[in-house]
Amino acid sequence: MSRRKKGNATNTLLGLATLAITGAAIREQLRKAPEERTWEGSILGIPYDFRKPTPERIRERMWNDTTSSIFTPQVFGIGWTLNLHPIVHPKPKQTSK
């Protein structure tokens, strides 16, 4: 099997998995009563957020100085995004004496 065919199969598999997880997340929300729907949560440990993005949430997810986590939930959609703050401003390593 050539590299090109392998790459296409992998992309297809990842696309189908993304579609399945997105569908499961939407189904989970639609099964709730309308007043209980939050449009955010996680499926199989993968976070999702289908709420309209706000500048505050974009900043919280992409430039959060209150956490050392590099990966935070997506601003919109499923999966994770990069929190750039700990990358640009890493905390110094503590040395033991």
Which residues constitute the domain of residue 47?
A: 3-88
What pTM does this model have?
A: 0.80
Per the prediction, the chain carries an average pLDDT of 91
Give the integer Cα–Cα distance in Å for 52 and 11: 28
Where does the pLDDT of residue 90 fall: very low under 50, low under 70, confident under 90, or very high at 90 and above?
confident
Domain annotation covers residue 93 = no
Measure Cα distances from 13 to 8, 25, 26 in Å: 9, 18, 20
Does the pLDDT value for residue 40 go beyond 60? yes
The count of structural domains within the chain is 1
